[in-house]
């Protein structure tokens, strides 16, 4: 759930991740895709400090501290703001490792919690909400990851469920539905440990409840990605990725369409 996953030979790592996302459109409640209107711009920049530590031979903990800045421009108004985002603490336990057995894949349990350390949209002061950096409540994640190697190939499927705590802001109590994500990936490792991966993910979220009344606002978010890792040495590596919400009607619902670039520098200890 964070970029800081330890390889089987690593004891710890620390890294810096830079993200840039451009929202170029959105999917409406009827799943129709609409490009952003002319003269409307939304950019999000993020810098994440993260680290991971192997606490038992097959278990690791990771911490991610984000800083988020948003630029929004509408006709006659523009704003830039940001701050510390929601901090995430996650864990991973590998019951089996990919490649250990012919028919049994690597099986890992994932769990995490996101703390509301960022500024929620309700407490944002900027008229365009650019100083909002968090969801304003705790979020718990649970997941199961399956992986298997075949020669230089690594195939993976991960299922995640996330649930946010109920929030009350003034007279309004909101309870968001569970968010389900299915992520599939295929990666090819080169002899120098560099790797290229294709990633496909799909997230769905049911209707929220507002003051006990269900609102029709399901979300669906598809994402396609290509990522790579390049080892600068046995201890240092660069990771990067390009992610796109395909701008195709019916694929998404109630969600922005984004193009996101990610670059990370990681130092590991074995």
Partner 1 sequence: MRSWVFAVATVAACATSVRSRAPTSGRFDGTDGIAHTIVPADREAYTAVVFFSTECHVLAVHDERVRDLAAEFAPRGVRFVAVDSEVGAQIERDRAEAYRRGYPFPIVIDRGGELARQLGAVYAGYVVVLDREGNIHYRGGIDSDRVRLREDRSPYLRDALTDLLAGRTPRVAESKVLGCALRLR
The footprint of partner 1 on residues 117-176 (CB under 8 A) is 149, 151-152
- Our CB check for partner 1 shows the closer of 24 and 188 to be 188
Residue in 197, 122, 116 with CA at minimum distance from that of residue 152:
197
| Residue among 28, 40, 104, 178 that touches partner 1 (CB under 8 A) | 104
* Cβ contact 39:2 at 8 Å: no
Q: Whole-angstrom Cα distance, residue 216 to residue 214?
A: 7
Told to check if 101 binds partner 1 by CB under 8 A, we report yes
Distance CA 132, CA 122 (A): 8
Per CB under 8 A, contacts with partner 1 among 195-234 are 231, 233-234
Residues that bind partner 1 (rule: CB under 8 A) add up to a total of 30
Q: How far apart are CA 5 and CA 31, in angstroms?
A: 34
Residue 216: partners with Cβ closer than 8 Å, 6 or more residues away: 29, 207
Q: Among residues 1, 23, 52, 98, which is the contact residue for partner 1, using CB under 8 A? A: 98
Do the beta carbons of residue 223 and residue 245 sit within 8 Å? yes
d(CA 108, CA 146): 7
Residue choice 30, 38, 57, 212 for contact with partner 1 (CB under 8 A): 57
* Nearest approach, Cβ of residue 103 and partner 1 (Å): 8
Stretch that binds partner 1, among 3-11, 129-137, 179-187, 201-209 (CB under 8 A): 3-11
* Minimum CB distance to partner 1 smaller for 8 or for 87: 8
Considering only 36-44, 81-89, 100-108, 116-124, which stretch makes contact with partner 1 by CB under 8 A? Answer: 100-108
SS3 sequence, 200-240?
EEEEEECCCEECCEECCCCEEEEEEEEEEEEECCCCEEEEE
* Binds partner 1 (CB under 8 A): choice among 75, 76, 171, 191: 191
Nearest CA to 136 out of 162, 165, 177 is that of 165
What track of x and - describes contact with partner 1 for positions 16 through 35 (by CB under 8 A)?
Answer: --------------------
Comparing CB distances to partner 1, the nearer of 42 and 94 is: 94
Tokens 């009344």 belong to which residue?
213
How far apart CA 209 and CA 36 sit, in angstroms, is: 28
Q: What is the DSSP letter of 1?
A: -
CB 3 within 8 A of CB 50: yes
Among 14, 31, 45, 53, the residue binding partner 1 under the rule CB under 8 A is: 53
CB of 107: closest distance to partner 1 in angstroms? Answer: 13
**Which residues contact partner 1 by CB under 8 A?**
8-9, 11-12, 53-57, 97-104, 149, 151-152, 189-193, 231, 233-234, 269-270
């Amino acid at each position: 759930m964070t970029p800081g996953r330890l390889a089987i030979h690593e004891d710890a790592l620390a890294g810096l991740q830079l993200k840039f996302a451009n929202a170029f459109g959105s999917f409406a409640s009827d799943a129709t895709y609409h490009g952003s209107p002319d003269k409307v711009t939304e950019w999000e920049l993020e810098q994440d400090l993260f680290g991971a530590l192997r606490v038992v031979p097959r278990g690791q903990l990771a911490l991610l501290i984000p800083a988020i800045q948003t630029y929004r421009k509408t006709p006659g108004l523009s704003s830039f703001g940001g701050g510390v985002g929601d901090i995430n603490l996650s864990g991973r336990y590998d019951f089996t490792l990919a490649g250990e057995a012919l028919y049994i894949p690597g099986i890992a349990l994932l769990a995490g919690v996101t703390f509301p350390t960022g500024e929620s949209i309700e407490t944002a002061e900027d008229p365009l909400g650019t100083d909002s950096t968090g969801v304003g409540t705790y979020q718990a994640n649970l997941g199961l990851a399956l992986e298997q190697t075949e020669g230089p190939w690594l195939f993976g499927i991960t299922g995640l469920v996330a649930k946010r705590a109920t929030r009350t802001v003034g007279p309004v109590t909101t309870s968001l539905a569970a968010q389900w994500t299915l992520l599939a990936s295929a990666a090819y490792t080169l002899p120098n440990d560099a790797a290229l991966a294709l990633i496909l993910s799909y997230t769905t979220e049911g209707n929220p409840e507002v003051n006990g009344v269900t609102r029709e606002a399901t979300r669906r978010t598809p994402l396609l990605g290509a990522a790579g890792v390049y080892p600068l040495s046995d201890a240092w590596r660069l990771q990067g990725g390009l992610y796109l919400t395909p701008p195709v009607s019916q694929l998404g619902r109630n969600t922005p369409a984004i193009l996101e670039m990610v670059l990370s520098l990681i130092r590991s200890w074995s």
